[in-house]
Amino acid sequence: MAFDLVLTGGRVVDPSQNLDQVCDVAFAGGKVAQIGQDLATGATQSRDVSGKVVTPGLIDLHTHVYWGGTSLGIDAEAFARSSAVTTAVDTGSAGPGNFAGFRKHVIDPCRSRILAYLHVSFAGIYGFSPRIMMGESHDFRLMAPQEAIPVIEANRDVIVGIKVRIGRHASGPQGIAPLDVALDLAEETGLHVMCHIDEPPPSYEAVVARLRRGDVLTHCYRPFPNAPVRGDGTVKDQVLAARDRGVIFDVGHGMGSFSWKTARAMLAAGFPPDVISSDVHAFCIDGPAYDQVTTLSKFLALGMPLDEVIAASTSRPAAVLSRPDLGTLQPGAAGDASVLTLAEGSFAFADVKGETVTGSQRLTSGGVVIGGAWWDPA
């Protein structure tokens, strides 16, 4: 078989296949074609990635990439190169009132893949900046479940769920009520909800108690107040019950939602995240989140094994999205791969509270394959 591209000599880590070995990965017709030895003969293009880690294309389940349409938006293609992310999932930047522009001007032209959680608020996240912070769930007049339905039906190829933001900053006087609107919309459309949580009210416990199997609680390792752990480091009962029920716990680092103290307590209690995501946006891309590979590196610093960290950005988010063609290097899957450099040394990583932890390993982007074609890193 003639291959379009072969990555040769890399350490292939694919948790979906329990694979961790040095081998070649071949692509043809925009798909993964084969994994094996000595595949480069006769290939149109081959790239020697010896010394690098090759994984399924990284999925960042929480990003904001409506560049130019919201104050939060970053450039998805630049992010794909700099962070080795082949699928960026935008989480609520757009609502039913402005999703058409997001699709036409950003999603469709972008050469990397963008999927989206549609915000239940009419205009999505429209009032978010360092000086202006207007929670889109503060005003119940902006809740737009009826307007959302035709938008979802017309865009089911890219809309993967419903986003809602809850907390003192995001929903303010409306409390938890916008979550009920989002859940009702999700039931009507057969989708799942991703729920943001910030400072109380409402409490972390009240929010997770409403979530269903397959719904995503993002910012799951946020700091006090509204952390998932008590002061003594034990995990709250409602959080344990939600995991047992099948609620998905996503990191969503961002500019205010990842704490070393919370992370250490959760991991010590045997509660790792289901998904690791960056929540990258214009106000955290220069720190403290930076990008997906930096966020993943923080979990290496916490002692998570490499294969578990990679699974939390490949096979697990693919399962959350019900996209078996993503997050795997099985033949026939989407022709996406991430090439990562795993450096050894001493690396300082900061959380959102300013605490710095020194790790001995750091992941950086060494390039990506999207649709079977090689992209150099930034």
Alpha-carbon distance of 313 to 298, in angstroms, equals 13
**Percent helix, strand and coil across the chain, each rounded to 5?**
25, 30, 45
Q: Per the annotation, does 169 bind a ligand?
A: no
Provide the pLDDT for residue 378. Answer: 67
Whether the full predicted model's pTM is greater than 0.85, yes or no, is: yes
Provide the pLDDT for residue 377. Answer: 80
SS3 of residue 239 by DSSP: helix
Provide the pLDDT for residue 129. Answer: 86
Q: Do domains 5-55+331-375 and 57-320 have the same CATH topology?
A: no
Q: Per the annotation, does 279 bind a ligand?
A: yes
Q: Per the annotation, does 163 bind a ligand?
A: yes
pLDDT < 70: residue spans in the chain:
378
Q: Does domain 5-55+331-375 match CATH 2.30.40.10?
A: yes
The contacts found for 15-18 with CB under 8 angstroms, 24 or more apart, are 15/307, 15/308, 15/310, 15/311, 15/314, 15/315, 16/56, 16/311, 16/314, 16/315, 16/318, 16/327, 16/328, 16/329, 16/330, 17/328, 17/329, 17/330
Residue 291: closest CA among 106, 80, 117: 80
Residue 166: closest CA among 217, 115, 117, 127: 217
- Summarised one tens digit per residue, pLDDT across range 276-335 is 999 999 999 999 999 999 999 999 999 999 999 999 999 999 999 999 999 999 999 999
Q: Per the annotation, does 196 bind a ligand?
A: yes
Q: Per the annotation, does 64 bind a ligand?
A: yes
Q: Where are the domains of the chain?
A: 5-55+331-375, 57-320
CATH code that applies to domain 57-320: 3.20.20.140
- Residue 331: which residues within 8 A CB-CB, separation 6 or more? 31, 32, 33, 34, 35
The H or E element containing residue 373 is strand 373-375
